[in-house]
Amino acid sequence: MKRFLIPILSIAMLFNLTSAFAWGPVGHDVVASIAEQNLTRKAKRNITKLLEGKSIVYYSSWMDNIQNSPYWENGYNKTKTWHYANVDKGHTYETMTKNPDGDVVTALEFLTKELTENYDNLTDSMRVDYVKMIVHLVGDLHCPMHAGRLSDRGGNNVRVKWFGQRSSLHSVWDSKIVESARRWGYKEWTEHLDRADRKFRKSVMRGTYQEWFKETVNGAASIYEYVEALGEEPNLSYQFVYDFSPLLEDRLMIGGYRLAYVLNTIFG
Ligand SMILES: [Zn+2]
């Protein structure tokens, strides 16, 4: 009997690990897939060439997965803090305590600058890695709990129940709400979300990482306010999915359009 316990435990631990980092794989795939639909022909051609025929969707969760690979100890562990920026209540990105190891905003600013101003000095493998990181991090930048409070580790310490099961607010927003809202794969999400008209797309495909992050902080604030009003360890279920589906859809769709904008600017 004991022999079976070990694999079950390892799988449970793996889920715990991955849920602490980002949108789950479906969320990241949706953002990358919407972006892919909105790339210019030239940008798509250049990126596909760089990724040796693979798509940006294929690599959308690479940056999370690398944390469980031998690569990790080989320099990539420096990117550990790049997935989020925790802003305490009453603070903004400007006034918050900055993480000296970097955050999602400084990481995206660095990667974009390298690919635009320092491209010729980068090795091919650096170019590839930086593209994969941008694809992932623009997704994280639009995930509300990646702008959660520092005091509760981006919602990781906010205990909630999700349809009766113990969970955290961070985990609910990373993957559980995406998986519960629809029984869709990333292609179906893309088909139903990538429908904004030209005027709307133009209105969101502009601005800076810091400006975009402000919206994520506002989204996180609305989630905190809602959950706090429900008291200690609330049981979140259908009502929560209903109330927050518009925010979820908005973040995935706008994240996708903006990823296209970033990649079109670099590679278009
Ligand atoms: Zn991430």
Q: What's the full length of the chain, in residues?
A: 268
pLDDT at 211 over 80: yes
List the structure tokens of 4: 């079976």
CA of 122 to the centre of ligand 1 (A): 23
Q: What are the structural domains, with CATH classification, of the chain?
A: 23-65+81-267 (1.10.575.10)
Q: Mind listing the pLDDT tens digit for each residue in 60-104?
A: 999 999 988 888 887 899 999 999 999 999 999 999 999 999 999
CA of 76 to the centre of ligand 1 (A): 13
The model scores a pTM over 0.85: yes
CA of 84 to the centre of ligand 1 (A): 7
Tell me the pLDDT band of 221, cut-offs 50, 70 and 90.
very high
Taking the C-alpha atoms of residue 239 and residue 226, their distance in angstroms, rounded to an integer, is: 11
Taking the C-alpha atoms of residue 263 and residue 159, their distance in angstroms, rounded to an integer, is: 37
CA of 254 to the centre of ligand 1 (A): 17
Higher pLDDT, 174 or 112: 112
Q: Mind listing the pLDDT tens digit for each residue in 6-31?
A: 343 344 444 444 334 568 899 999 99
CA of 91 to the centre of ligand 1 (A): 22
Q: What is the mean pLDDT of residues 151-178?
A: 96
Query: For residue 258, which of 47, 30, 31 has the smallest C-alpha distance?
Result: 31
Higher pLDDT, 12 or 134: 134
List the structure tokens of 118: 């320092």
CA of 206 to the centre of ligand 1 (A): 23
